[in-house]
Chain A
Amino acid sequence: MSDNTTATQPAGVRHYSSLGSRVFDTLNIILLGGLALITVLPLFYVLAGSFATEGEISARPFFLWPEKFVTSTYEYIFANDTLLRSLLTTIVVTAVGTVVQVLLTFSMAYPLAKRYLPGRTLVLNLVIFTLVFGGGIVPTYLVVRDLGLLDSYWALILPLAINPFYLIIVKSFFQELPQALEEAARIDGCNEMGVFFKIVLPLSKPIIATFSLFYAVAIWNDYMSPLLYINDNSKWTLQVLVRQLTSPDAANAIGALDSAVFFPQQGLKFAVVVIATLPILCFYPFLQKHFAKGVLIGSVKE
């Protein structure tokens, strides 16, 4: 396991006292510390920039604390319909989408975990085939369009409803659950649906948490689906808005926003990045733990 807590000192306690060794250790610490700084400094800069005045952003090349701390950019955002709506939209789509995707994935994985179910192998093979080959962008777009899902929030959820990789991992997890409890429930007259909801799902809480996070992060971060399926700019998600505002042709996008007297043209670019990043960073401790587990499940089981 490479969980941060356990992966330290794999070689046991090693002591080196030679000069070369100590020089290496010092350089190593500087190098890795530098790497960590390069990773986070852009994020701190954006955070600082979002609280700075328009003038400061243009005048100072780099800062981690604004000279004059202002919240006017955020005040503007939370008074602006377009920005507020896209934030709420993204939150709702992520929440609903995660529930739908987890339910669909887990309820399909359960019957597929029953080795005695006739037809199971056929369905599994159909699923595995989609890992190797698919219709691609245009045919999928045409299907979504024919289903009347263009400009519908469901287009951000349904085409990605089941990740075949996750499905197979959850199926393997179900196969390893002890069968005794399920059998007891069946003998008590519970049907399979009841067994699934009353016995299996409560036993699967940790893995449900893991895959909820996987799906939630994927929807929150998704840019391709809204790009493909959402044309109506009143339905922009946060990621689209971030793209529209922080690009060389941002002026066009800004025209789409309601015009106001005060307009923090530069600050907005920083603040909208902060807003789109913040939820991810708030959940980061959980994400780190669960995702690391997921990577290793995937690498062991595949």
Chain B
Amino acid sequence: MATDLAPPATKAARKAEKGRRPGRVPVRTALLRYRWLYLMLIPGLLYFVLFKYLPMYGLSIAFQDFVPFLGYSDSPWVGLKHFENLFTGPDFGRLLFNTLFLALLTALFVFPAPIIVALLLNELRVSVFKRYVQSLIYIPHFLSWTIVFSLTYLLFSVDFGVVASWIHSLSGGGPKVDYMAQPEWFRPLVILQLLWKTSGWGTIIYLAALAGVDPNLYEAARMDGAGRWRQFWHVTLPAIRPTIVVMAILTSGNLLDQSFEQIWLLTNSLNRSVADVFDTFVYYVGVTQGGYSYATAVGLFKGVAGVVLIFGSNWLAKRLGQRGLF
């Protein structure tokens, strides 16, 4: 084997390689020299082409009346018809409202929960108890949305749900409420599920920030006569503020991304008007009803809006002096 075909083995050779601009290496030489590395790259690259980039090409059906039989190239092109239908039809307003309303409720109730729990955990003085609590409240993170849905059903169902019957007896009788079917109970259930599943696990990142606080700061505060509350207010809270800001920015970048599985599982024919969000609507119309092109147009709109949100929140992060995502 000629030496120039082997990967640069010595430090000097690698340094020389680094100094060279990548474009300078003739393609054939590079392919030969690094053939094993390229070979290892192929399966992964194939994955990205097949399952990530081919679907992006498939987005073109948003501008067609796609007929599976005719395929991508022969289906008739219709320009922006599906987008016009989307923006002038009744779906868009409902989808946007449902999505943003859920995002608002999440920001109000779900986002602060792990912060509060982490702060409470941080004040615990019995470390064994703290460990037990942590171990228990992390559990739901690992359970599937299907399990969360089933637990909700077993607890809230109208026939034998425990919580349902408790509420019923506490409120002094009256007609039984079917929480799983009533549209006005859809959003509270979504928020309850999110609280149960995420508020324990979400503490990790805040606890990490709290663990990094210099004990000398508390010492100094105590010297200055600060009691427990003032130490919390002037040392603990400022310590996790940057983490809160970063998490808020990340969350706002994913504003349109509800968990498909969670929403879809809770959706039924009775609550569809409040339950539909972009992703579940795309699945429902596109895959189950065969409205490929219209659903793809809806999905494309959501995808583009998502990109705008991510770059927007990243820009905001940098404006606020935070390290952005990219």
Interface residues of A (CB under 8 A from B): 1-2, 4-12, 14, 16, 18, 21, 24-25, 28-29, 31-33, 35-36, 38-40, 42-43, 45-46, 49, 57-58, 61-62, 104-105, 107-108, 110-112, 114-119, 121, 123, 126-128, 130, 132-143, 147, 158-159, 161-162, 167, 183, 186-187, 191-193, 196, 217, 220-224, 227-228, 239-240, 242-243, 246-248, 266, 269-270, 272-273, 276-277, 280-281, 284, 287-288, 291-292, 295-296, 299, 302
Given contacts A25-B125, A40-B139, contact A138 B286 (CB under 8 A): yes
Taking the closest CB of chain A, its distance from the CB of B42, in whole angstroms, is: 9
> Nearest A residue to B197 by beta-carbon distance?
A39
Question: What B residues does A104 contact at CB under 8 A?
Answer: 43-44, 47
Given contacts A116-B8, A140-B51, contact A288 B135 (CB under 8 A): yes
Count residues of B near A (Cβ-Cβ below 8 Å): 119
Interface window among B83-91, B92-100, B102-110, B151-159: B151-159
Q: Which of A32, A112, A228, A242 contacts B150 (CB 8 A)?
A: A242
Could you list some 23 contacts between A and B, CB below 8 A?
A: A2-B207, A7-B207, A7-B211, A10-B213, A33-B133, A36-B137, A45-B162, A58-B159, A61-B166, A111-B40, A116-B7, A134-B303, A136-B303, A139-B58, A142-B68, A143-B55, A193-B39, A246-B154, A269-B154, A273-B150, A276-B147, A284-B139, A295-B204
Q: Is the CB of B18 within 8 A of A116?
A: yes
Question: What B residues does A32 contact at CB under 8 A?
Answer: 117, 120-121, 124, 129, 133
| Residues of B163-196 contacting chain A, CB below 8 A | 165-166, 180-181, 196
Question: What B residues does A123 contact at CB under 8 A?
Answer: 41, 45
Q: How many angstroms from the CA of A242 to the CA of B154 in the assembled complex?
A: 12
Given contacts A9-B127, A248-B268, contact A302 B325 (CB under 8 A): yes
B233 at the interface (CB under 8 A from A): no
> Nearest B residue to A295 by beta-carbon distance?
B204
Q: Is the CB of A186 within 8 A of B9?
A: yes
Q: Is the CB of A5 within 8 A of B131?
A: yes
Q: Which of A119, A192, A288 contacts B138 (CB 8 A)?
A: A288
Main secondary structure on A side of the interface with B: helix
> Nearest A residue to B168 by beta-carbon distance?
A61
Q: Which of B38, B205, B261 contacts A295 (CB 8 A)?
A: B205
> Nearest B residue to A31 by beta-carbon distance?
B120
Q: Is the CB of B196 within 8 A of A38?
A: yes
Q: Is the CB of A6 within 8 A of B133?
A: no
Q: Is the CB of B125 within 8 A of A14?
A: yes
> Nearest A residue to B218 by beta-carbon distance?
A11
B252 at the interface (CB under 8 A from A): no
Q: Which of A162, A186, A223 contacts B7 (CB 8 A)?
A: A186
Q: Is the CB of A135 within 8 A of B55?
A: yes
Q: Is the CB of B48 within 8 A of A299?
A: no
Contact with A along B236-269 (1 / 0, CB 8 A): 1000000000000000000000001100110010
Q: Is the CB of B52 within 8 A of A135?
A: yes
Question: What A residues does B36 contact at CB under 8 A?
Answer: 191-193
> Nearest B residue to A145 by beta-carbon distance?
B68
Taking the closest CB of chain A, its distance from the CB of B72, in whole angstroms, is: 9
Q: How many angstroms from the CA of A272 to the CA of B285 in the assembled complex?
A: 30
Contact with A along B23-41 (1 / 0, CB 8 A): 0010100100010111111
Taking the closest CB of chain B, its distance from the CB of A291, in whole angstroms, is: 8
Interface residues of B (CB under 8 A from A): 6-10, 14, 17-18, 22, 25, 27, 30, 34, 36-41, 43-45, 47-48, 50-59, 61, 68, 117, 120-127, 129-147, 149-151, 153-155, 157, 159-160, 162, 165-166, 180-181, 196, 200, 204-205, 207-208, 210-213, 215, 218-219, 227-228, 231, 235-236, 260-261, 264-265, 268, 279, 282-283, 286-287, 292, 295-296, 299-300, 302-304, 306-307, 310, 325-326
**Most interface-central of A7, A16, A139 (chain B CB within 10 A):** A139
Q: Is the CB of B145 within 8 A of A223?
A: yes
> Nearest B residue to A122 by beta-carbon distance?
B22
Taking the closest CB of chain A, its distance from the CB of B291, in whole angstroms, is: 9
Taking the closest CB of chain A, its distance from the CB of B319, in whole angstroms, is: 19
Q: How many angstroms from the CA of A110 to the CA of B43 in the assembled complex?
A: 12
Q: Is the CB of A118 within 8 A of B22?
A: yes
Task: Give 9 closest A-B pairs by Cβ, nearest first.
Answer: A135-B55, A108-B44, A139-B58, A221-B144, A136-B299, A192-B36, A8-B127, A2-B207, A139-B55
Q: Is the CB of A139 within 8 A of B154?
A: no
Q: How many angstroms from the CA of A302 to the CA of B44 in the assembled complex?
A: 21
Q: How many angstroms from the CA of A217 to the CA of B205 in the assembled complex?
A: 21
Q: How many angstroms from the CA of A159 to the CA of B46 in the assembled complex?
A: 11
Q: Is the CB of A105 within 8 A of B52?
A: no
Question: What A residues does B122 contact at CB under 8 A?
Answer: 10-11
